């Protein structure tokens, strides 16, 4: 990560978020100032990474899909500001090793707990990978709700749109009772559903209940228990 490039990108992103989205940041004090931590947002827009990282008090690295690094210019830029590739749909050992190294080295890492972006802006089922990473590194997770990023920069759009944008960081959650259970699916399901429950609660509490599908938590628990 290049600190100058990171901070420049952070403030440029904040400018667009404030100008077009009247950005509100809530709960930034919930992000631990030191030590390894995972910031786990929902995912609806390509603008989510700079929002999740740029609205908090500390720099954060990012797991980003490997395909982005093959795009000229963009691949170079995201690498400079702390992104590193992960091959989705596979057990990418290099990405896992890099993440583990960063977290145990006291860094913050942003990982979208749903994996890909939502097509309709509503919450999706969580993946178990972020839970496994958190238990493996023994770090807390900060549930993060990003509201209306999909309206600010919709899929396929090249331009920003005016909206009301909110980024909410919840209180960090830890799972010391599950330490070492990185291959226990029941433990991973507990972590994943707990984080998604917090994100859903943040959305409901801050004016976006429509982002939480009816019966969402029950469906997530049923799917992860399958």
Instruction: Kindly write down the DSSP assignment for every residue of 60-129, as one continuous string.
Output: -EEEEEGGGGGSTTHHHHHHHTTEEEE-TTS--HHHHHHHHHHHHTT-EEE--TT-S--SSSS--PPPSH
Domain count, the chain: 1
Q: How far apart are CA 51 and CA 144, in angstroms?
A: 11
pLDDT of 80 reads 84
Residue-number span of the structural domain to which 92 is assigned: 3-225
CATH number at residue 184: 3.40.1130.10
Q: How far apart are CA 43 and CA 116, in angstroms?
A: 7
- pLDDT digit of tens for each residue in the chain (226 aa)? 778 888 888 888 999 999 999 999 999 999 999 999 999 999 999 899 889 888 999 999 988 777 877 887 777 788 888 888 887 766 678 888 999 999 999 999 999 998 788 888 999 989 888 999 999 999 999 999 999 999 999 888 889 999 999 999 999 999 999 988 998 999 999 999 999 999 999 999 999 999 998 888 777 777 666 6
Average pLDDT of every residue of the chain: 89
């Amino acid at each position: 990560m290049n600190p100058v490039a990171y901070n420049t990108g952070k403030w440029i992103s904040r400018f667009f978020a404030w100008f077009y989205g009247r950005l509100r940041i809530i709960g930034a004090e919930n992000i631990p100032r030191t030590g390894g931590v995972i910031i786990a947002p929902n995912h609806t827009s390509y603008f989510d990474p700079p929002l999740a990282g740029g609205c908090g008090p500390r720099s954060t690295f990012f797991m980003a899909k490997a395909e982005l690094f093959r795009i000229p210019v963009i691949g170079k830029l995201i690498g400079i500001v702390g992104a590193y590739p992960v091959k989705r749909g596979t057990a990418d050992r290099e990405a896992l090793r890099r993440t583990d190294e960063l977290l145990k080295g006291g860094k913050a890492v942003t990982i979208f707990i749903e994996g890909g972006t939502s097509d309709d802006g509503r919450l999706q089922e969580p993946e178990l990978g972020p839970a496994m990473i958190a238990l493996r590194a023994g770090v807390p997770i900060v549930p993060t709700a990003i509201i209306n990023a999909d309206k600010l920069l919709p899929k396929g759009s090249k331009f920003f749109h005016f909206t009301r944008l909110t980024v909410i960081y919840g209180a960090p959650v830890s799972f010391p009772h599950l330490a070492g259970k990185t291959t226990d699916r029941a433990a991973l399901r507990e972590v994943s559903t707990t984080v998604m429950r917090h994100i859903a609660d943040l959305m409901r509490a801050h004016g976006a209940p429509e982002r939480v599908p009816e019966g969402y938590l029950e469906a997530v628990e049923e799917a992860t228990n399958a």
